[in-house]
Amino acid sequence: MTVSVGIIMGSQSDWATMKEAALILDELGIAYEAKIVSAHRTPDRLWDYGRAAVSRGLKVIIAGAGGAAHLPGMMASKTRVPVIGVPVQTKALSGVDSLYSILQMPKGFPVATMAIGSAGAANAGLMAAGILAVSDPAVAERLDAWRAALSASIPEEPKDD
């Protein structure tokens, strides 16, 4: 299967969050790769990844980082492949630092920014699936089924614990 989604993250420590995106893509049968690409610690790796993204056939990049989270924005500067940013929760500032670092992109280089933490990572997987579904009917069908199953799992009334 051709890899259409790249999941990149600034550190091994981000994987516990970013694997929520991977789990969603697994559920939807979407091929992806997961790589550590740090804006600060491995800037050449970031540049090489962004430069090759289009020619490698990547259709969406999910980029997660925490703190001074420059990875999603720098990747968006390097490739026209849509970048979905995931702010990783931090100990010092609870991920608000990550959120603001990713969210406030200047005009011209957008990053689709998700919520802080694991919900944001899972939603990044779903957002990537939605982008692919525009031109892939099989992905669209699986995504529709996933969404319907989630809705069906929600009870109409609360119950005591």
83 binds ligand RP5 (CB under 6 A): no
Closer residue to ligand RP5 (CB): 16 or 54: 16
What residue has token string 């699936």? 129
Which residue, among 69, 8, 78, 71, has the nearest Cα to 48 in the 3D structure?
78
Q: How many C-beta neighbours within 10 Å does residue 51 have? A: 12
How many other C-beta atoms can be found within 10 angstroms of the C-beta atom of residue 35?
11
Does 41 count as an annotated binding residue?
yes
Q: Please report, as residue ranges, which positions from 13 to 42 form the binding site for ligand RP5 (by CB under 6 A).
A: 13-14, 38, 40
Nearer to ligand RP5, 18 or 132 (CB): 18
Cβ-based nearer residue to ligand RP5, 40 or 56: 40
Q: Does 153 appear as a known binding residue?
A: no
Between CA 68 and CA 147 the distance in angstroms is: 33
> Quick one: 60 or 69, whose CB is closer to ligand RP5?
69
Q: What's the rounded Cα separation, in Å, for the pair 68 and 79? A: 20
147 labelled as ligand-binding?
A: no
**Residue 94 found at the interface with ligand RP5 (CB under 6 A):** no
Looking at 67, 72, 85, 117, which residue binds ligand RP5 (CB under 6 A)?
Answer: 67
Neighbours of 156 (CB within 10 A): 4
What is the b/e burial string over 136-150, where b = at least 16 CB atoms within 10 angstroms of the residue's CB? beebeebbeeeeeee
**Of 6, 7, 10, 99, which lies in the binding site for ligand RP5, with binding defined by CB under 6 A?**
10
> Letter for the amino acid at 138?
A
Decide: is 74 part of the binding site for ligand RP5 (CB under 6 A). Answer: no
- Residues marked as binding for substrate? 11, 14, 41
Interface residues toward ligand RP5, by CB under 6 A: 10-11, 13-14, 38, 40, 65-67, 88
